[in-house]
A and B are shown apart, each in its own frame.
Chain A
Amino acid sequence: MNILSALFNGNVLALTGAALAVILAGIGSAKGVGLVGETAAGLVSEEPDSFGKVLLLQALPGTQGIYGLLTAFVILNKIGLVGGTAVELSTQQGFLFLAASLPIAIVGYLSAIAQARVAAAGIGIVAKRPDELAKAITFSAMVETYAVLALLASILMVFGIKV
């Protein structure tokens, strides 16, 4: 019973939400950046001069991880774990924070990987037509839109929760 009440403690739930945002979005970005990096290394082994260009493409799926961290930080800030005094949350409030973290956690994870695929394909564009980097970046940025929207939803939810 003790464990159960500890588990449904509001602060534990809120921290779980913050952790999920960092973990899932972070894993997505790590996978994504890794995937593009592998492709990029292939091109750079042939054309070392293209390093700067493909590095841009590799950086693109990295933002989801940052968005996850961001959401976590906003949550921590709101419940007073960093800066300010810690707040005791009710179980319901805890669940609210957990729910608020889900958009960026889940969309961040999946969109980072999808974006990485586009970016890796974009490296093919750079290989054949080095001048068309902007188009490769734009394709990849189309995917990122949904991560941005998820981040926005998460942040607005967190801001909206009354503590």
Chain B
Amino acid sequence: MAIVKMDKISLIGLQRDRNEIIDSLMKMGVVQITDIDFDNSEDGLSDLIAKSGDEEKVIQLDTQIEKIKSTINYLSGFNTKKRGLFEPKRVVEENELNEIIKNKSDLWSIVENIDSLNEKLSLLRSDENRLSNLIASLEPWENLSIPMEVSSTKYTLVSHGVVPVTVDIEALKSELSELAPQSYIERVNRDKDQSYISIIYHISCGDVVTEILKKYGFSKVSFTGLTGTPAANIANAKRQIAEIEEKRKNIQKKIKEFAGVRDKLEVLHDYLEIQRDKVKVLSKMAKTDKTFILEGWLPSEKSSEVKNIISGNWECVLEIRPSKKGEEHPILLRNNSFVRPFEVITEMYSLPSAREIDPNAIMAPFYFIFFGMMVSDAGYGLVIALATAIILKKFKLQGMAHKLISLLFFGGISTFIWGALFGGWFGNVVEALSGGAYTIPPLWFNPLDDPIRLLIWSFIFGALHIFAGMGIKAYMLIKDGKVSDALFDIIPWYLVIAGLGMLVVGGVIGSIGKYMAIIGAVVLILTQGRTEKNIVKRLFKGILSLYGVTGYLSDILSYSRLLALGLSTGVVATVINTMGTLFGFSIGGIIIFLIVFLIGTVFNIAINALGAYVHSSRLQYVEFFGKFYEGGGEGYEPFKIKTKYTNININDGRQNR
């Protein structure tokens, strides 16, 4: 239960062994290679060494990886075989990998091929868009019988255009026939915005017509570049769209034929990623003409293994030393299987720094208790625990997802325990269904009957939680040799808070509490100003420090959410049961009950589990971590084989020799 001890590794090797050593380190996957600090290296050394690394190669590989990735994504749209959400990665053996690397150029030509087919598809798509737009713009003119390229004859002019739909066409017609008798106007179409009109008039009355049309808000439409009637054009465009559809089907069929290479592309993608990582890590190292230098961290327990392999196979200077006191190093947490899921809560806040201790072991039981109290329904707890257990069993989850689901699993168990203690089984479903004849009695007490009792317990849990946080602070102070700080800053507060709590109980305990609180307060007044020279200032600061009691009180009051959220689950569950049983016990009533009960329960579990997660986390972050925790550690990320799609069993440097 702690932060894993780390050793610092420094290695100077020969350039000719470099790739093999890097392969070997990658295969072992335990060393985190860190940037070499040029500025702080010893005098003279910085002139001899240069930064290693090949940016261009990294970029080049990245481009290739991106290209394959987009092809894979593209192909997955055509894939016939669906993959499950949590399906484990496919294992690729060495001979398969070698086969694929050998035929790399074939795969690349397929990628290019798919690329160009894809490009054709997008050209077709833009063609189709253009044609659809054309159809949309011509459709209102479909009834126009004059070819669109005709804008004049020997003695007449032709004009097409639109007027707002509010314009009275009959008025326009009569005005035209009156003032310009040598004209013919026709309304071709109308929609909800405008009327589409076509007008033919003799050249001689051109000005008059233009004037009248202007008055009616006419705006001219020109069909540049189009010939023939609109109807013919529309038909033509529709035919072309059909052709495009046909072509598209053909291309898609061709692409579909390539869907089978997706597996191979995935292997190639992962292989290239490994190559990229190997080149990339070089930029963290330094080099001279004949040698290379790398530094890093690894867990102490792996040190001898790494040492044996590296110095056993290659000629090099290898130094592995334990981390110095107070030296920052990558953080790897190791806890037992109960505590491990709760690490995720700390990780989301911040990893501990190397100087601190891992708070998870102390945090976990509190989180466990709080989560359960906030949901506190035995039925819900069973549902959560079973559902998460099935997920854990069925899918091999990794990393964060595994921790979160396990966290929910433990949360479910805690919920079950608290639910049984408080007598909540899907709210009061037994009572509701039996019409009050049966109830499941609580093992402890029902918070609905006596909320104040649970409120007091919430405060007690809160005080213990805060005390634990302060205890860690005291422990860390003592570890750093600041015993007096621990003695004067933490212990008196224990006395004051516990004393005030006991005072509320009254009786003999109350009077003991009174004296505890007074002693604590006196110690605080006398010691809190100890950094001040001036005796008056010192006393004043001491008295002022008592104000800190409000902080502790508000922290403890914050735990009343344990009661509030616990009650809320139970009451909402009761609401669901009441709603469900409103329709009696006819067949229809039972069906309604089942529907209401199912939907309501799922909803209530979801919203309360979210609430419990959020508020338990908050209690850890604000009330608990606030007492001692600084965080700021960097996670341990060893240099290892990282692949996206497959698990590749690559050979390491040793076997190549």
Contacts and interface: CB of A to CB of B under 8 A. Distances in A.
Given A148-B560, A156-B451, A66 B618 contact: no
5 contacts: A59-B610, A134-B345, A134-B617, A145-B618, A156-B452
A163 interface: no
A152 B459 CA distance: 14
Contact of B564 (A60, A137, A138, A151): A151
Interface stretch (A5-13, A30-38, A68-76, A86-94): A68-76
Given A134-B348, A138-B618, 15 more contacts: A60-B614, A63-B607, A67-B568, A70-B568, A70-B572, A73-B574, A133-B348, A134-B617, A137-B614, A138-B614, A141-B614, A144-B615, A152-B563, A155-B564, A156-B452
Given A141-B618, A156-B451, A151 B571 contact: no
A146 B392 CA distance: 36
B611 interface: yes
A83 B607 CA distance: 25
A158 to B, nearest CB: 10
A135 B568 contact: no
Interface in A96-145: 133-135, 137-138, 141-142, 144-145
Interface of B: 345, 348-349, 451-452, 455, 557-558, 560-561, 563-565, 567-568, 571-572, 574-575, 578, 607, 610-611, 614-615, 617-618, 621-622
A77 B431 CA distance: 15
B610 A149 contact: no
A105 B618 CA distance: 24
Contacts of B571: 70, 73-74
A70 to B, nearest CB: 5
B622 A135 contact: no
A137 B451 contact: no
Contacts of A152: 455, 560-561, 563-564
B349 A66 contact: no
Contacts of B565: 148
Interface in A3-61: 56, 59-60
A82 B432 CA distance: 12
A69 B455 CA distance: 21
Nearest to A132: B348
B611 A145 contact: no
B603 to A, nearest CB: 10
B497 to A, nearest CB: 20
Contacts of A134: 345, 348-349, 617
B604 to A, nearest CB: 9
A109 B160 CA distance: 60
A69 to B, nearest CB: 7
Contacts of B617: 134, 137-138, 141
The 3 A-B pairs at the shortest CB distance, nearest first, are namely A134-B348, A152-B564, A141-B618
A60 to B, nearest CB: 7
B558 A145 contact: yes
Given A56-B610, A66-B607, A155-B451, A149 B572 contact: no
A155 B567 contact: yes
Contact of B578 (A82, A142, A151): A82
A66 B611 CA distance: 12
Interface residues of A, number: 30
A156 B349 CA distance: 33
Nearest to A149: B560
A109 B614 CA distance: 20
Given A134-B617, A137-B614, A155-B451, A148 B564 contact: yes
B350 to A, nearest CB: 9
Contacts of A82: 578
Contacts of A156: 451-452, 455
A103 B103 CA distance: 72
A141 B621 CA distance: 11
B457 to A, nearest CB: 14
Contacts of B560: 148-149, 152
Nearest to B567: A155
A59 B578 contact: no
Nearest to B568: A70
A143 to B, nearest CB: 11
Contact of B348 (A70, A83, A135, A159): A135
A149 to B, nearest CB: 7
Contacts of B611: 63
Contacts of A74: 571
A79 to B, nearest CB: 15
A138 B614 CA distance: 7
Contacts of A60: 614
Contacts of A83: 578
A83 B560 CA distance: 28
A23 B148 CA distance: 63
B446 to A, nearest CB: 12
A61 to B, nearest CB: 12
B575 A69 contact: yes
A138 B575 CA distance: 29
A144 B455 CA distance: 18
Contacts of B455: 152, 156
Contacts of B568: 66-67, 70, 151
Nearest to B614: A141
A142 to B, nearest CB: 7
Interface centre among A69, A74, A152 (most CB of B within 10 A): A152
Contacts of B621: 138
A148 B565 CA distance: 8
B35 to A, nearest CB: 22
Interface centre among B452, B564, B572, B621 (most CB of A within 10 A): B564
Contacts of A144: 614-615
